[in-house]
Every structure is written in C-alpha cells, then in structure tokens.
Structure 1
Amino acid sequence: METFFIFFTTFFIQLIIAVEMNLVAPLAPYISEYFKIKPSSVVFFNIGFSIVGLLVPILGAFADKYGKKRSIILSLLFFIIGTIISGLAKIPILFAIGRVFIGIGYFALSGINFSYISEFIPYESRGKASGLLRLAFGIAILGSPIYATTLIAKYNNLLSIYLPLTIIGIISLIFMTMLPETEKNNEIKLEIRELNSLIKKPINFKALLIAFLFLATPLFLMNFLGIYLSSHFKLNQLKIGYVYTIVAFGTMFGVIFAGLFIDKIGKEKLAKISYSLVFVSLIILLISNSLNLIIVSLILMALGLDSGWTAYQTLLSEIEPNKKGIFMSLLYTINAIAVTVFSILGP
C-alpha cells in the first residue's frame, strides 16, 4: 500500500510539472497577444524558466544529504509559488518571474522524483517505474494543449490554467508529508567540487553530452511549432492545440512501449532503436511540405524521443548509485542548459 501511495503521489507531481512545461509552446500566439509582445519573443519566457535549472544540483545534493522527500517538498513549494505568480500576472516581467519559480520546481522535481522512487524498488524493475513517470509526462503532453486552449477559449485568462495546477500541487504536497523519507548520506558536500568530480568522470561526461545533443531536436522543433503552424498553415489557436494533441499520441505510445518492454529489450538497446526512429522522422520532416505528412513525422519523432528518453534515464540511474540525487539532478541541469541555449538560438 505504501509503494502504491508513493507512485500515486509522484505520478501527480510529474503530471502537473509536465502540464505546465508544455503550456507555453502551444499557447505562444495567445501569450504574445495577451502580453502584447512579438510571437517569436514568447520563447524567451523559457530562458528564465530554464536558466535556474543550473541551480538544481544543489537541491540534488541536498536530497542525498538530508533526504529526497524533504527536497521534493521544498521543490514543490517553489512550483506552487510560481503557478500562483504566473496565473495572476498581467505584465510580461511578472509572468517571467513566476516561470523562474516554476523552473526551479520543474527541473529539481524531474530528477529527484525518479531518484526518490528508485530507493524503494530494485534496478531490475526500475524501467517500469521510469515508464510510469514518463506516462504522466505523456498524458500531460497529450492533454495540456486541449486543456489550455479550452480554458483560454472559455475564460480568456491565465489564472484559469494555473489555478488547477496550484490546487493539485498543494494536495500533492500534503500527501508527500505522509510518505517515508529516504536514507541520508552525511558525507555529501554541497560544493561545486562535488559536482566537478562527477562531471570529470569520462563515462559521466559522455552520458550527459549525449543527453544535451538528444534534447536539441524537441527543443528546436516543439518550441516553435505553434508559431510555424500559425504563420505557415494559418491555423488558429484551437487547431494548433489539436495538432499538439495528435502529436502527443506518439509520446503516449512511446512511454507505454518503453514501460512494457524496456526491461525485456534492454535499456541501452531500446535507447539506440528509439534514437534511430527520431533520425528517420527528421528526414521525412525535412523533405515534406504537407501538413498531414509533417504531423505523421512528428508523431514518429515523439514516439522515438519519449521511448528513448525513458530508457536512457533509467540506464543513467545506476551510474552513480550512492549519489543518485546529485547525478539525476545533473541530468536535468543539462536539460535546463539545453532549453536556455536553444531558446536563445531559436529566434
């Protein structure tokens, strides 16, 4: 029963942070109009969101030293505060500040959530646990465009989107206080030296570099897809939401497939197969001007991306078994660096 409650709580935490992360791209045309800024400037809201991800290893070290449950609670508080600020924002700078708080919560929780679960299950079954969290991510990608565009069409304000996330966040916070704490490692030091020692190991450096390069594809494409569909195919906000939802079926298939077969196929092998599928889908995308064919290639890309990331994240979870919180936080710091770099380069 305790294990079920752990999965239940972390699943909903993963769900709400993934929903928020996937709101800005499909809502780019609306946000640009809401704050009266250029559509191409909307992506800059991701910079404040992502750059704070550089601080996440501190929370990862905090998690290993003082307990992962405590770190999740602290990170969730940052996320909740951010959703309140962003929901009430009437000017761009306030919305950006809210997303900074959300960014701290998102990148910290993405890494620590999985490392928390892994303390309670063996490595052999960890692929299914990773698949469950990625399922939450898949549901978020599938549902967030329709969720956001429907509420915007009905209420025409950002609070209608962020208030439900705040409420679920508070409920998850209460549930989290009832869960067990993980083992603490008093030898961990909250120092830059600790991070450098991890990054300098050749296998760690290569693993993180692969993650950075792999993230280039979704960040370049998906961040600007809404603007591209609006300008090139003249789709309105609701139809853009439909496209994102259709593409998200690829994510759902990817995480379900990974969850079912990751431990049978093998984590490394599945990651390689999935990344090959992404490469093929990109070739189709480059040679096509048809909206239908573009959508099909995006579905294939999403399938490969999410099955591959599920496998790769699970594979990396045992590289540093005694410093799992720090290393998984480093993985999502690389995510944050990638978001920052490609948000600046994109426009």
Structure 2
Amino acid sequence: MSEEQAQPATRREWFLLITLATIQFTNILDFVIMMPLGPQLMRVFDMNAQQFGLVVSAYTFSAGTTGLLAAFFIDRFDRRRSLLFLYAGFGVGTFLCAIAPSYVFLVAARMTAGAFGGILGATIFAIIGDVIPYSRRGAATGMIMSSFSLATVVGVPTGMYLANRFSWHAPFFLLAANAAFVWAVAFRALPVLRTHLDNASDESPVRVVVSLVASWKYLRAFVFMILLVYAGFSIIPYLAPFLVSNLNMTEAQLPLVYFFGGAATIFTSRLFGRLSDQYGKKRIFAILTLVSLLPQLILTNLTAIPIIPLLVLTTFFMVFISGRGVPAMALVTSMVEPHRRGSFMSLNTSAQQLAAGVASMISGSVLITTSNGQLQRFDWIGWIAALVACACLWMSTKLESLEEISPAPVASHGR
C-alpha cells in the first residue's frame, strides 16, 4: 500500500468536503426540484411536454454556454473567489425563479440560475481534483454526489410539500434563503484555494482550451460524459409527468419517489465510490451501467401497477442511474493536470449541460401528449437511452487517467 493510500482524510479535508457538498446540495436541489414540479407547472402555465422541456433545457443550455466561456479564464483565479462569486449569482437566479409571474419570465430565470449553477458544479469538482488524492477521490466524489441523494430525500419532499401547501413559488423562496445562509458560512469558512496557480504554466487561456479540445484523449472524455448524461437525462425530466399521467400516481405521492430513491442513494453513492477506489473505476462503472438498464427498461415500458412495487422500481432506477455517475466522474476528474483542471471541468460540465438540454428537447419532441394528459412513446425513450448507455460503456474503455498525479494540500485559511 502506498503512503498516499495509507493516509486517512484529514479533519480539514473533511470540513472542505462537507462545505462543498452543502453548496452542491442547494445547486442540485434548484435543478432537480423542477422535475417533480413538472405536473403542477404544466397545469399552471398550460404547457405541453415540449414547452416543459424548454423550461428544463433553458437551465442546461445556459449552463453549457457559460461553461464554454468560463473554460478560458476559470483557472486564472483562486477557486475560493470563483466559488463564492458563482454561488452568489446562482442565489440571485433562484430568487428570480421564485418571483416568476409568467412562463417567459420563468424561462429567463432558469437561464440565469443555469448561467452560474453549471460553472459552480465544475468548480466544485475541480477543487476535488486539486486537493484529494486519487486513492480517495472516488469516495470524495461519492460524497459530493450524495448531495443529489440528500436533495431528493430531504429537499424534494420538503419542496413538494411547500408547493402543494402554498404554490410552486414556495420551494424557490426557501432555496434562495438557504443559499444566502450557506454563502455566508462558506465566506467565513472556506480557505484560499490557489494551489493550482502555483503550478500554472505560461500558456494563454485560449491555447489551453484549444489544446484540450484538440486532444483525442480529452475529446474521448467529453464524448463519454455527453453519452452518459444523454442516457439519463432523456428520461429523468419526464419521469414525474409519466408517473402521474400514465401510472396513476398522485401528485401527493410523488415526494415518496424522491424520498425513498434519495434515501437509498445517500448510502449507495458513497458505497459505489469506495468500491471504485478498491476495485477500479472502469470496472465498477461497467457493472453499474449494465445493472441500471434493467430498472430503466422496465420502468419506461410499464403500465399502471400498485404503489409499493412502483416505489421499489423507481428506487432501483435512481440508485443505479445516479450510481454509475460516481465512478464516471471520479475517472474523468483524474484525466488532466491540475493547472488545466478548471478549464477541463468547465468544458466537461458545459458538454454535460448541453447534452442534457439536447436530450430533454429531443425526448420532448418524440413524446406525444394525449388529450387526457398521458405521455406516449416513453418506451421509445427508454430503449434509445439504453443504446446510448451501451455506447457510453464502450467509450469508458478508451479513457486514460493520471493516477500518478499527487494532490496539492489544502491551503491555509488566509484570505
């Protein structure tokens, strides 16, 4: 066992991870809350599947565009300052969502939130790549990605309760207030994170980005993540409308889907991260991808069944769809040198966001909303997603990680 492997995570490292996971929690919740709110938003604004797809895609397309721009300069700044600036902008965008009086205003507000939220996620994972050793990076990635689980098990049911009790505006007001509080804590607690600047080269930002997109090694990583996101996001935005309209689940029962699914993934995300560190990230990714196809295909081809087996099925779906992303992200994060990692992760996140937007728009154009509100051709979406996941599995065998990269220590708490 190497010295790096033998050393456990330090207290400072744990505190940094908890802070980043909390920030990512609000970032993720702002995004995922849109999906279960789908039936209510479609009713309030009289939207069809394509129009709802545009609301979801507005966030992802905006995040993808700003991610491309951020790739040119994100590695030129202290990660702490970048994180705080982006989180503040994200909070403003969330507040605009809360006060949205119309469909057009809501789309614009989602674009604002996405413009900051997408780069925020890239910055968080760049920090993970900078300061966490490769031998613990899978577990650290699993911890950050478990914020998705916490968002679904705590945030979504709470948001749905507020939406059902008051209106769909209420969850976004709570999110904006929570983001303001977390920002204040992060401002006081986060250390300076500029070790990537100590190893920075004299390359211009344009040359760095060009070298990334011109390299087959990195292009394979981008294609890999595009396929992975498409495979999941062609289904996820329309899952709640499908459950309500086609499988006779009530809007009051929807929080149960996210509660049980999120509760399970709280444990499985970190488990899959540890397994990735122990047995290899590519191997665990392959296993999780193949297993995820079973609940995915059953769910998308399903007719109405009792609530209990339906909840079991949706829980397995969420566990393995989110679980395969843990080794995938840990692997991709380890493919680039630290002084380029911010630019790489911005491009990578941008590619993911654009893929999510394209997936949502394509699925929305394939689906047909009947006169009674049911979604037809959801089974088509499931089969297409399965084929894309298989292509993603093949692409994973072409990726090369830099396991020899030694992390920089967490910097001091000086401002």
TM-score, structure 2 as length reference: 0.77
Q: What residue in structure 2 maps to residue 125 of structure 1?
A: 136
Distance 1:34 1:10, change over 3 A: same
1:214 is aligned to 2:255: no
Q: Between 114-123 and 149-158, report the one with greater CA deviation.
A: 114-123
Indicate conservation of the 8 Å contact 2:160/2:171, yes or no: no
Selected match of 1:134 from 145, 155, 167? 145
Q: Deviations over 1:283-332 (max 9, x none)?
A: 43355435355544443332222222111111111211231111112221
Partner AA of 1:156 in structure 2: S
Selected match of 1:103 from 114, 127, 137? 114
Indicate conservation of the 8 Å contact 1:277/1:300, yes or no: no
Indicate conservation of the 8 Å contact 1:116/1:182, yes or no: no
**Unmatched runs of 5 consecutive residues or more in structure 2:** 1-10, 365-415
1:339 is aligned to 2:356: yes
**Unmatched runs of 5 consecutive residues or more in structure 1:** none
**Alignment partners' CA distance in 2, 1:45 and 1:287:** 25
Distance 1:190 1:346, change over 3 A: same
Distance 1:236 1:70, change over 3 A: same
Q: What residue in structure 2 maps to residue 308 of structure 1?
A: 324
**Alignment partners' CA distance in 2, 1:60 and 1:197:** 12
Q: What residue in structure 1 maps to residue 172 of structure 2?
A: 162
Q: What residue in structure 1 maps to residue 270 of structure 2?
A: 256
**Alignment partners' CA distance in 1, 2:203 and 2:317:** 39
Q: Deviations over 1:17-42 (max 9, x none)?
A: 11111111111111123333335522
Q: Displacement of 1:253 after TM fit?
A: 4.1
**Alignment partners' CA distance in 1, 2:239 and 2:110:** 20
Selected match of 1:268 from 282, 285, 300? 282
Q: What residue in structure 2 maps to residue 12 of structure 1?
A: 22
1:181 is aligned to 2:196: no
Q: Which has the higher helix share?
A: 1
**Alignment partners' CA distance in 2, 1:188 and 1:85:** 38
**Alignment partners' CA distance in 1, 2:320 and 2:270:** 12
Distance 1:325 1:176, change over 3 A: same
**Alignment partners' CA distance in 2, 1:175 and 1:186:** 33
SS of the residue corresponding to residue 253 of structure 2 reads helix
1:49 is aligned to 2:49: no
Q: What residue in structure 2 maps to residue 89 of structure 1?
A: 100
SS of the residue corresponding to residue 132 of structure 2 reads coil
Distance 1:155 1:93, change over 3 A: same
Kindly name which structure, 1 or 2, has the bigger radius of gyration based on alpha carbons.
Answer: 2
Partner AA of 1:91 in structure 2: S
Q: Displacement of 1:113 after TM fit?
A: 0.4
Partner AA of 2:357 in structure 1: T
Selected match of 2:292 from 278, 282, 287? 278
Partner AA of 1:225 in structure 2: L
Distance 1:31 1:284, change over 3 A: closer
SS of the residue corresponding to residue 219 of structure 2 reads helix
1:239 is aligned to 2:253: yes
Partner AA of 2:319 in structure 1: L
Q: What residue in structure 1 maps to residue 31 of structure 2?
A: 21
Indicate conservation of the 8 Å contact 2:153/2:263, yes or no: yes
**Alignment partners' CA distance in 2, 1:234 and 1:40:** 21
Selected match of 2:83 from 56, 61, 72? 72
**Alignment partners' CA distance in 1, 2:184 and 2:290:** 42
**Alignment partners' CA distance in 2, 1:57 and 1:44:** 20
Q: Displacement of 1:80 after TM fit?
A: 0.7
The number of equivalent residue pairs is: 345
Q: What residue in structure 1 maps to residue 4 of structure 2?
A: none
Indicate conservation of the 8 Å contact 1:72/1:109, yes or no: yes
Partner AA of 1:339 in structure 2: A
Indicate conservation of the 8 Å contact 1:226/1:240, yes or no: yes
Indicate conservation of the 8 Å contact 1:83/1:162, yes or no: yes
**Alignment partners' CA distance in 2, 1:319 and 1:175:** 32
1:37 is aligned to 2:47: yes
Distance 1:283 1:28, change over 3 A: closer
SS of the residue corresponding to residue 235 of structure 2 reads helix
Calculate the aligned-residue CA RMSD, in Å: 2.2
**Alignment partners' CA distance in 1, 2:194 and 2:68:** 18
SS of the residue corresponding to residue 50 of structure 1 reads helix
**Alignment partners' CA distance in 2, 1:103 and 1:145:** 19
SS of the residue corresponding to residue 6 of structure 1 reads helix
Partner AA of 1:181 in structure 2: L
Indicate conservation of the 8 Å contact 1:254/1:307, yes or no: yes
**Alignment partners' CA distance in 2, 1:164 and 1:188:** 43
Q: Deviations over 1:155-186 (max 9, x none)?
A: 2241x211222222223323333422222236
Indicate conservation of the 8 Å contact 1:146/1:242, yes or no: yes
Q: Deviations over 1:240-299 (max 9, x none)?
A: 232233333453343032233221121111111111112233343355435355544443
Distance 1:298 1:217, change over 3 A: farther
Q: What residue in structure 1 maps to residue 369 of structure 2?
A: none
Aligned sequence identity (%)? 18
Distance 1:289 1:87, change over 3 A: same
Partner AA of 1:46 in structure 2: V
